[in-house]
Structures are given as C-alpha cells and as structure tokens.
C-alpha cells in the first residue's frame, strides 16, 4: 500500500478540527453569530448573567444567583494572569462537575479574582450585577451605571469567537475529561501568550503616547506610518470587512465618550487613523477592530493596564465553558497526528 502523503499548513490555518453550534465567524462578510444570533443583537439582548447559561446550554434558565466563593487569605501571584490561573487551581477540588455549577463558576470568578488582586477588598452590594462588583473591586470606586453597562457589554462581546488558540486548548482539556477549573486554567495559560492576547496592550501604548500630545493625534500616527510601523487597533487577521464585534462595542464606546475625556481622545484618534490609512492604503481597506474599542473602553473604565488581559479572559470564560461542555458531551479524546520528518 502506498504511503499517504499530506501537508499541514502553518498553524493549522484553514484545517477544520471540530464542529460546534456555539459561534460562527465569517471574516469575508464581517459577521459573527452566537448560536445563530448576530453579535449586535446578542449585545443588546443579554446581560452577562443571562448570556452565560444561554451560551453554555442553549436555553434561558435562572441559576438562582451565582455561588460566590470565599478565597483564603494568601499571597496570590503578582502577575494577574498567573493569579487568575491560581484562583482556578484553588477551586478545582471544591467545584461540582455539572453544567449549572459551571455557569455559576463563570459568574463567580470576576468577584473571586477581583478580591484576590485587590488584597481582599469587599464590595458593599452583594446583589449588584457582576460587572458592578468587579469594577468596584479593581478600581476602588463605585461605578456609574454607564460604566457597568459598558463592562457588561464588553464581556458579552468577548464571550465567544469560535476555535481560537485558547478555546482549542480548553476543548483538548475537556476531551480528556478534565474538570472545568483546570480546563479554564489551560485557556488562561494559552491566552497569556502575546501572540494571542496582547493586542489591547499595543492599542493602550498607542493611545497613551497620543495622550501626551493630545492636540495633534494625526502627527503621532503619521510619524508611525512613515517609520513603517503598524497602527495597533486597525485591521484583523480573519475579518476582511468591519469586525462585527467592533460595531457592537462602538455604541458602548460612544456612550462613554460623552462622560470621559480619554474616550473622546480615542474617538479623535480613530478618526485620524482611518483617514491616514485610507490615504496610504486605498487598495486595502483597514477598518477599526475590536481591540481598539476594547482598549479605549477598559481605559475609560479605570481598569489598571495589567488587569486588561484577565478582564478579557473573565468574559471569554463563558465561551470556554460552553466549549468545555460541548466537548465533554462528545466524549472522544482529541488526538491529532504529527508527521515524522527526520532532521
């Protein structure tokens, strides 16, 4: 029998490795759906508390309130992503292994993580939305309703995006039968890599540089383009049309711009950047991507820069958990092949 020959594209790009009912990303037309519903509709319809059980199970259900867990007084890792993974590792033995408990875990994590990284700070209103409690913990201030809505919408928008690297890691862990906290910790580890989760960092650096000379953002942007640098927050690897998550988050961003000088600066930066990119690259439309709005929103909310990656991860936990549950029910170990090639 002849030996079968095959090639694997770099990064497995374009290779289908699973089927899912959770989300569909159409980069050519700029479309993203959660369980068949456009992301723009989902952001308007759901709060994070209602999104999580719907995304994980496909049905609307009342969880009866999230099960907040008290964490021990202990020194958590200084790096925020490592601290988030450590919280998950601490919870592994204690958390029940069923779907409703999984949803409660996702909704409880922002408060548990916020307490851990704030040195045990407490929130005065235990009945407040999870976004309000998280903002109070990590900023030390009572958030405005506009800020609470902005973070909630950001988490809904960030919850799911098909089979990216961290989601694939969670699915592989789920296929082995790993319990949810450790599967989520695998996702956190993968997301901590700068090639996957570092885009908002570049946008924040850009906006902070422009903030030092706010009267002329175009001068900073033009100098970067003249030096051959990329403008972080514009263009996307998958989307060739406008990123639908950017459209969904822009409405939230515009509400913040009425309250926050930083958001107004970001709006002027976006306008100047799009004008310059159209001038330099008329053959290749480069639209604002979701990372630009995410960075601007998180900065306007007062979330410390180091906490931006775990804040995104706390939203993405919803999608990771849905993938974990979908893969667990499939019950088959993910075991791809590797082609041997001697040196």
pLDDT at position 3 is: 53
CATH number where 273 lies: 1.10.230.10
Same domain, residue pair 174 and 133: yes
Same domain, residue pair 37 and 168: yes
Structural tokens at position 341: 């090639």
Same domain, residue pair 39 and 151: yes
Same domain, residue pair 221 and 182: no
Give the catalytic positions in this structure: 236, 291
Instruction: Give the end-to-end CA distance of the chain in Å, rounded to a whole number.
Output: 25
pLDDT at position 123 is: 73
Same domain, residue pair 188 and 317: yes
Distance CA 191, CA 313 (A): 8
Cite the DSSP H helix spans in 92-243: 99-117, 130-139, 145-158, 165-175, 180-191, 194-197, 199-211, 217-226
**In the chain, which stretches have pLDDT less than 70?**
1-6, 65-67, 124, 198-199, 236-241, 259
Same domain, residue pair 207 and 264: yes
Same domain, residue pair 278 and 226: yes
Distance CA 324, CA 316 (A): 12
> In terms of residue numbers, what domain contains 293?
199-300
> Would you call 25 helix, strand, or coil by DSSP?
strand
Considering its fold, how many domains does the chain have in total?
2
Same domain, residue pair 285 and 322: no
Same domain, residue pair 95 and 24: yes
pTM of the model: 0.91
Same domain, residue pair 240 and 254: yes
Distance CA 190, CA 169 (A): 7
CATH number where 25 lies: 1.10.580.10
């Amino acid at each position: 029998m002849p030996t079968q020959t095959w090639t694997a594209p770099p990064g497995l790009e374009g290779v289908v490795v699973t089927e899912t009912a959770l989300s569909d990303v159409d980069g050519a037309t700029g479309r993203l759906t959660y369980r068949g519903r456009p992301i723009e509709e989902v952001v308007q319809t759901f709060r994070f508390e209602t999104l999580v059980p719907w995304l994980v199970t496909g049905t609307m259900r009342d969880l009866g309130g999230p099960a907040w867990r008290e964490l021990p007084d202990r020194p958590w890792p200084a790096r925020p992503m490592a601290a988030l993974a450590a919280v998950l590792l601490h919870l592994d033995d204690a958390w029940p292994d069923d779907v409703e408990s999984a949803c409660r875990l996702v909704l409880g994590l922002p408060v548990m993580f916020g307490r851990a990284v704030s040195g045990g700070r407490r929130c005065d209103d235990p009945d407040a939305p999870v976004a309000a409690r998280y903002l109070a913990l990590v900023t030390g201030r009572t958030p405005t309703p506009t800020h609470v809505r902005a973070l909630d919408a950001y988490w809904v928008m960030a919850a799911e995006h098909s089979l990216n690297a961290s989601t694939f890691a969670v699915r592989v862990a789920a296929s082995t039968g790993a319990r949810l906290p450790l599967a989520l910790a695998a996702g956190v580890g993968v997301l901590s890599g700068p090639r996957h989760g570092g885009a908002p960092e570049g946008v924040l650096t850009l906006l902070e540089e422009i903030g030092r000379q706010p009267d002329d953002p175009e001068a900073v942007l033009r100098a970067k383009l003249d030096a051959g640098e990329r403008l972080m927050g514009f263009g996307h690897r998958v989307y060739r049309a406008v990123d639908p998550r950017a459209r969904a988050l822009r409405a939230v961003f515009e509400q913040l711009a009425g309250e926050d000088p930083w958001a107004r600066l970001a709006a002027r930066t976006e306008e100047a950047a799009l004008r310059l990119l159209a001038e330099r690259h008329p053959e290749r439309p480069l639209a604002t991507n979701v990372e630009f709005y995410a960075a601007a929103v998180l900065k306007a909310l007062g979330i410390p820069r180091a906490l931006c990656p775990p804040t995104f991860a706390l939203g993405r936990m919803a999608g990771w958990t849905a993938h974990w549950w979908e893969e667990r029910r499939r019950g088959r170990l993910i075991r791809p092949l590797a082609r041997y090639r001697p040196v």
